[in-house]
Structure 1
């Protein structure tokens, strides 16, 4: 008789009073343990419950935080929670991208002999401004003797590149073939505060307000255009001053460009003062005068030349110096008509500055201009503009910025020009003068009386 296999009775058999179930697969027997299974299931239920509880808690916290972030908080609550706000978990910050850096671009629209060199220093001296002086000069030199109007499109293209800190466009108008343009080859480089200051040059510092010596700056090391581009991208404000854009409508595509935030500061001056200054600097403007005169509309009413007299003024040079005023004032009138029509693309983008207002009230005008272009006038800048306009010198040397009695310089035309010459300038520019608030002279006595103002409020 065969003996039955003996299996020792486990302890749990007594507890449950049941025999264990036996499962056979092949020749292997597996004995299920109900007590162990129950314990495992109980542990799983606890873990699932805890995970569910944590999930619900996190969801409630996230909803509460979202509601708090979107509700307008009273001022008292914002103050009381100021210390705790840093430690509060704001999940929105994990998903919101940082704000895009917005740069302010400015073009100073003006013309020759309008006080623009001094006005440009208000930006050149500002530590937070990247300033370029007359970059369009390169186009006029390279494409000479092209007339002024045919060059306007090329000027706009250059400005578009420069405002994006792309200076490779200078190479297109390089007058020396085979030579790479450096920082010292850019027009106005010896007076440029960025080019003459650290890190491009060790002679000056951009954060210290004050004129630079062009003789010193000419010894600055040559830097590549790429190095200047790198400096340009560091500034939040880029300002370009130019006298070669004749009409603000040329800038319209740039002003309407959504990728740019371009504003125009229009600097004007009494045309009679400009005519007088143009005669004094006629030899330095021969090429420019010819290019402007070439663009003269054949339908224009050409007035007889009044600036020729037998006392020593040469007809040829004086003729070109003053006849160019006819073209300049014609396009100035087009600009003013555009401003008066208030197109949508120009709203909030245009600001007028009269040179006479600048020299009479320098600090107030500085603050107005800075407010328009989102800058703040520091004490150093206020001291600078006061010093530049209240000097003792009455010198009117062209193309040189220095401390002067600017009020006397601005009205010097009233002691030099005769009545016939004054009438000539007034006839060329009568519409622009009317809009800008420049009063026509009735008598020579009225001209010579410097206590009598020939200014009134402008219409723009």
Structure 2
């Protein structure tokens, strides 16, 4: 009987030891997935990829190959809507060593926009930014399957027909992902949309892994400080190209592109009478984000050292070959002949060509950068100058004091101001 009691005690002790070890292992696993969480604190993944911690593991996420990831360069074109980012993106898209993606964060935004009001209230700005960063991190790891969390309808066998602006990425429209007619490169996006059917995300991930550089364009992250976690990720070799534009030009472009959202502005511009429904925050918020982001970049924080370059769209449009060479030098690549050919073909178009398709990059780039001066009323320009005065001064854009000064496009409003990369 005494032996039986000893045996029972030993078994109880052994059981407690096993449970303790299991709990310790689980805690360590949780902590490793959620750095910075307190011991024993639960970490869980919320619906549709909104994680409660950055860097959460995911069933679609592949382990990183540290050597391969370290060698690969990761480029982020950071901009705001209608600031010339599509044009800049194509300068990367044409290079055969670069895997380029056009606005993949669109899919995250769509999931959020299509969710219920209750869900939108639950998901705050930090959670949405966390989802953006998580997607960018996976895409830079060539894990395009991670997008399946945000695609509707849900892909079958990892194939989708709803990849946003697939045609804006040459890599997604070429073999082995698509075998379309290669004789009409000038209209590749339109042909790709018609001829390329479902995109296999697994195969696209494999194509991505063959390229030495990955470039992603986004206008969906408000301020550059929101990129700090990505910039500090030692697994990424990040280069941020911060594209800015004169806010007066941004507003004019938005008015011409997003007619419904800027209808009141267009009425004001056409009649000279300001409707009560004009939403000044549509440009004031943009200027605030620009001012804060540029201020962060120019203050040269340690987490941006060697990773940040500010580019004014007007300078890129005026001297595309020179600015492209500077940008490519910053990312550590030579300008390929395909890039030079594209610049030649897409910066000398007629103004009529630009009107045929609002997202086209074929145009007279210099004329396009200054065209707002002929299209905006002086009253609207004065309003923007009042709302964005600090931003205009910060970026080196001159104010105009009269209609005559506004319309005199022979006199540039872009001051000679050097913005050297932070190296």
TM-score with structure 2 setting the length: 0.74
CA distance in 2, matches of 1:305, 1:124: 34
Contiguous gaps of at least 5 residues in structure 2:
1-66, 115-119
Structure-2 change in CA distance of 1:432 and 1:306 (3 Å): farther
- For 1:73-114, what per-residue CA distance to the aligned partner results, in whole angstroms no more than 9, with x for missing partners? xxxxxxxxxxxxxxxxxxxxxxxxxx8660100000001111
Is 1:357 the counterpart of 2:308? The answer is: no
The equivalent of 1:276 in structure 2 is: 252
CA distance in 2, matches of 1:140, 1:313: 34
CA distance in 2, matches of 1:419, 1:126: 41
Structure-2 change in CA distance of 1:332 and 1:310 (3 Å): closer
* Structure ranking higher on relative contact order (CA contacts 8 Å, 6+ apart): 2
Match of 1:457 among 412, 416, 419: 416
- Written as runs of structure 1 = structure 2, the 5 A alignment for 1:42-61 is none
Is 1:432 the counterpart of 2:413? The answer is: no
- Written as runs of structure 1 = structure 2, the 5 A alignment for 1:39-78 is none
How many correspondences in the alignment?
342
Shift of 1:429: 2.0
The equivalent of 2:89 in structure 1 is: 120
Match of 1:256 among 229, 232, 254: 232
The equivalent of 1:413 in structure 2 is: 372
Shift of 1:410: 1.4
Structure-2 change in CA distance of 1:183 and 1:230 (3 Å): farther
The equivalent of 2:212 in structure 1 is: 236
Shift of 1:217: 4.0
**Is the 8 Å Cα contact of residues 197 and 203 (structure 1) preserved in structure 2?**
yes
Structure-2 change in CA distance of 1:409 and 1:119 (3 Å): same
Is 1:108 the counterpart of 2:50? The answer is: no
Task: Name the Cα RMSD after superposition.
Answer: 2.9
CA distance in 1, matches of 2:274, 2:90: 34
Structure-2 change in CA distance of 1:282 and 1:216 (3 Å): closer
Shift of 1:171: 1.6
Structure-2 change in CA distance of 1:177 and 1:193 (3 Å): closer
**Is the 8 Å Cα contact of residues 109 and 267 (structure 1) preserved in structure 2?**
yes
CA distance in 2, matches of 1:313, 1:228: 51
Matched residue SS, 2:271: coil
Is 1:311 the counterpart of 2:271? The answer is: yes
Contiguous gaps of at least 5 residues in structure 1:
1-98, 290-303
The equivalent of 1:31 in structure 2 is: none
Shift of 1:176: 2.4
CA distance in 2, matches of 1:314, 1:219: 46
**Is the 8 Å Cα contact of residues 270 and 433 (structure 1) preserved in structure 2?**
yes
**Is the 8 Å Cα contact of residues 101 and 168 (structure 2) preserved in structure 1?**
no
Shift of 1:319: 3.1
Shift of 1:308: 3.0
The equivalent of 2:190 in structure 1 is: 214
CA distance in 1, matches of 2:417, 2:130: 30
**Is the 8 Å Cα contact of residues 107 and 151 (structure 2) preserved in structure 1?**
yes
**Is the 8 Å Cα contact of residues 139 and 154 (structure 1) preserved in structure 2?**
yes
Is 1:191 the counterpart of 2:149? The answer is: no
CA distance in 2, matches of 1:132, 1:183: 16
Structure-2 change in CA distance of 1:433 and 1:458 (3 Å): farther
Structure-2 change in CA distance of 1:236 and 1:325 (3 Å): same
Is 1:173 the counterpart of 2:131? The answer is: no
Is 1:324 the counterpart of 2:282? The answer is: yes
CA distance in 1, matches of 2:159, 2:288: 37
CA distance in 1, matches of 2:71, 2:303: 19
**Is the 8 Å Cα contact of residues 78 and 219 (structure 2) preserved in structure 1?**
yes
The equivalent of 1:376 in structure 2 is: 334
TM-score with structure 1 setting the length: 0.68
Deviating beyond 6 angstroms after TM superposition, the runs of 4 or more aligned structure 1 residues are: 304-307
Matched residue SS, 2:100: strand
Matched residue SS, 1:203: coil
Shift of 1:417: 1.2
Structure-2 change in CA distance of 1:385 and 1:305 (3 Å): closer
The equivalent of 2:178 in structure 1 is: 201
CA distance in 1, matches of 2:272, 2:353: 22
Structure-2 change in CA distance of 1:455 and 1:312 (3 Å): closer
- For 1:133-163, what per-residue CA distance to the aligned partner results, in whole angstroms no more than 9, with x for missing partners? 0000001111116499452221111111111
Matched residue SS, 1:212: helix
